[in-house]
Amino acid sequence: MEQFRIRIEWTEPDPDWDGLDAATWGRVGFFVGDDCITSNHPADSRVPGDSEFLEGPISGLAEWVADNFVHVLWAIRTPFPIEEIGVNAPPIPGLRQASSGWSEYPIDCDMNQMGVWQHRHTFGHADSPLALPSIVFLPEPRYVALAVDYPNTALDPTVRFTAPSSRPWPHLYVVRKEQLEEELGTFIERVINQASSTEEAKKWAAWLSNRWERSRSEAADPETRIRVALGDELSSIVRDARSTHPRIADTLADFLLDCSSSVREISSFLTEQLSSHLEPGGPDGAAWRRIANSGMDLSAPLFEQGYQLARRVRSFLREEVAPLPTITALLARVDVERDEPVHTTAFRAAAFGGRRFARIVPSADDERMRSVPSYRFAVSAALGRLLAAACIDPSKPIATAHGRYARLLETRRANAFAVELLLPRRVLEVRASVIREEGRVPQALCEDYGISQSAANWHAYNAGVLSLRA
Amino acid sequence: MAPELQLTLLKEALEDPDAGTDCHGFPRKLWNALGGVVFVGVSANCNPPEYNCYPEVPLTALRSVLLERAERSVDTFTPAKAD
């Protein structure tokens, strides 16, 4: 897991600037792992000066952090469907997408909500005259994804940014939330200390210090976290559950993070599902639990974790490369029940797991569930979510969902699990010459393995079998 | 941008309803737009107030009114009348 770092060097201010701006004048550089994400050169190509730092007043960046700290860490649900991200789909919205009014996003996205979300998640937006690349934070419960991209050059910034050579932009980094929290805290406290050392900026330092204390308290408060993570409407479902079904409230909150807001229509169904799964029952040592107990390398990249889990399932089934039978038969072999589909568009397939038994619930209303390959993929991905959750914390009840609004990082692992489970990489490697010749995974092979061609091609690309995305 | 025009734009600028006030109690953020460009004025926390103004993507509740204002041409600019 990479680390996010902000480096500051205090310098003599430009003589045209005074007051607070001069008091917090410095050079600031942002780094993720070994990558500098603020490498820049002057927009005027006649002026020399490649640098990893930006120079100017830093106070505005500190104000942005203080104001948006709780959102950067805890505003997990997004006003746009996460699923649209990826190959042949819009990227995570950054400043360039915002400039064009998010025209690549579905028309059912609320543009006002998009604006509020974008401001709160884009580092330094509208708070500092320092030009920055587009750095967008997407928090999840334990990790935060950072989507880094070029800014909108129509705004005429005085510098031009250069992406790290090995990681062209847009690029998604993943950092541990605790590390990000600590780094942002260190950053803001350094700026406050610097301002406190000059008479003319002391008042501002005290003012920001109060705001910062308030933000930190908010970010540490469990109820605030849930409200910010889910939004007012869905967090009220959790609040109600705390009084009527207190044992399931935390699990319910976790589940809602993966759903669209239409999930409120099935809140009583969810309460019933979760209540029943917290009761002990079913066979001890169910197959899915045994598979999960064999572990997963949590330090590996998410897609690799998904592949590992899929190979464990296949190994358990003693089906290393053969096409899998029907999904219902697969689930039965790993002791997971398949429930009747439920009428909802909140998710595509949900997975619930107690100490001893588990169940997958498909959606009856999601359009993609009408296609057999999409259905197989969604249910497989939900199984991947179930197994990953059981690996990460075997003691917790599990309630997760796969669908348009499911969490980005969990979805990445679940998608990798599903694609490797349905069509093992070894099959692609054996058929590599045919795949390369056709420039895509042959349709007949996709049909044999019950997988869509787009998913198979994506897998072949990631496996290095296809050099260009088909 | 000419200093007079900049001053006029600041006078008719809209306060960001979500930004609150700066450490002296002045509006923390102002927005305006002209000639296809949306500007934000960010308080420099001075008394009397001063604002650092620069082009910015209008991610604010004022977005639609700012995009309308951005359609005004610099040549024919007359400040919006107060409500």
pLDDT digits (tens, 9 = 90+) for B29-82: 999 999 999 999 999 999 999 999 999 999 988 999 999 999 999 887 777 765
CA A5 – CA A179 distance, rounded (Å): 9
Q: What are phi and psi of A386, to 5 degrees?
A: -60, -50
Could you tell me which residues of chain B have a Cβ less than 8 Å from any Cβ in chain A? 16, 18, 22-24, 29, 40, 42, 44-46, 50, 52, 54-61, 63
Give residue for tokens 């849930």. Answer: A226
Are residues A321 and A357 located together in one domain of the fold? yes
Give how many domains chain A has, as a whole number.
2
Those residues whose C-beta lies under 8 Å from the C-beta of residue B40, and which sit 6 or more positions away, are A126, B16, B29, B30, B31, B53, B54, B55, B56, B58
Closest residue in chain B to residue A158, using alpha carbons only: B54
Q: CB of A149 within 8 Å of any CB in chain B?
A: no
Q: Number of Cβ pairs closer than 8 Å across A and B? A: 68
Are residues A191 and A270 located together in one domain of the fold? no
ipTM score here?
A: 0.90
**What is the pLDDT at residue A95?**
92
- Smallest CA–CA distance, residue B81 to chain A, in Å, is 25
Q: Could you count the other beta carbons within 10 Å of the beta carbon of residue A3?
A: 15
Are residues A144 and A183 located together in one domain of the fold? yes
Are residues A55 and A164 located together in one domain of the fold? yes
**What is the pLDDT at residue B9?**
92
Q: Could you count the other beta carbons within 10 Å of the beta carbon of residue A439?
A: 11
SS (H, E, C) chain A: CECEEEEEEECCCCCCCCHHHHHCEEEEEEEECCEECCCEEECCCCCCCCECCEEEECHHHHHHHHHHHHHHHHCCCCCCCHHHCCCCCCCCCCHHHHHCCCCCCCCCCCHHHHHHHHHHHECCCCCCCCCCCEEEEEECCCEEEEEEECCCHHHCCCEEECCCCCCCCCEEEEEEHHHHHHHHHHHHHHHHHHHHCCHHHHHHHHHHHHHHHHHHHHHHCHHHHHHHHHHHHHHHHHHHHHHHCHHHHHHHHHHHCCCCHHHHHHHHHHHHHHHHHCCCCCCCCCHHHHHHHCCCCCCCCHHHHHHHHHHHHHHHHCCCCCCCCCHHHHHHHCCEEECCCECCCCCCEEEEECCCCEEEEEECCCHHHHCHHHHHHHHHHHHHHHHHHHHHCCCCCEEEEECCCCCHHHHHHHHHHHHHHHCCHHHHHHCHHHHHHHCCCCHHHHHHHCCCHHHHHHHHHHCCCCCCCC
Are residues A38 and A129 located together in one domain of the fold? yes
**What is the pLDDT at residue A115?**
93
- Residue of A54, A58, A111, A116 for testing the chain B interface, max B β-carbons within 10 Å: A116
**What is the pLDDT at residue A470?**
47
Are residues A202 and A271 located together in one domain of the fold? no
Contact residues, chain A, for B18 at CB < 8 Å:
116
Binary contact (B61, A20; C-beta < 8 A):
no
Judge whether A387 lies within some domain: yes
Contact residues, chain A, for B39 at CB < 8 Å:
none
Binary contact (B24, A203; C-beta < 8 A):
yes
**What is the pLDDT at residue A319?**
94
Full domain range(s) for residue A277: 248-422
Binary contact (A115, B56; C-beta < 8 A):
no
Judge whether A108 lies within some domain: yes
Are residues A279 and A167 located together in one domain of the fold? no
Q: For chain A, list residues with pLDDT below 70.
A: 84-90, 278-284, 356, 468-470
Contact residues, chain A, for B58 at CB < 8 Å:
115
Are residues A340 and A211 located together in one domain of the fold? no
Binary contact (B56, A155; C-beta < 8 A):
yes
Judge whether A465 lies within some domain: no
CA-to-CA separations, A386 to A291, A393, A425, in angstroms, rounded? 11, 11, 22
Judge whether A190 lies within some domain: yes
Those residues whose C-beta lies under 8 Å from the C-beta of residue A149, and which sit 6 or more positions away, are A91, A94, A95, A96, A133, A134, A136, A169, A170, A171
Q: What are phi and psi of A355, to 5 degrees?
A: -70, -35
Judge whether A413 lies within some domain: yes
Are residues A152 and A45 located together in one domain of the fold? yes
Contact residues, chain B, for A127 at CB < 8 Å:
29, 42
Judge whether A470 lies within some domain: no
Are residues A349 and A205 located together in one domain of the fold? no
Are residues A186 and A312 located together in one domain of the fold? no
Asked if residue A92 lies in contact with residue A170, where contact means CB atoms within 8 angstroms, the answer is yes
Judge whether A451 lies within some domain: no
Judge whether A431 lies within some domain: no
Nearest residue to A80 (alpha-carbon basis) of A118, A124, A42, A51:
A118
- Residue of A59, A158, A204 for testing the chain B interface, max B β-carbons within 10 Å: A204
Nearest residue to B22 (alpha-carbon basis) of B1, B49, B4, B3:
B49
pLDDT digits (tens, 9 = 90+) for B11-44: 999 999 999 999 999 999 999 999 999 999 999 9
Binary contact (B46, A20; C-beta < 8 A):
yes
Asked if residue A59 lies in contact with residue B52, where contact means CB atoms within 8 angstroms, the answer is no
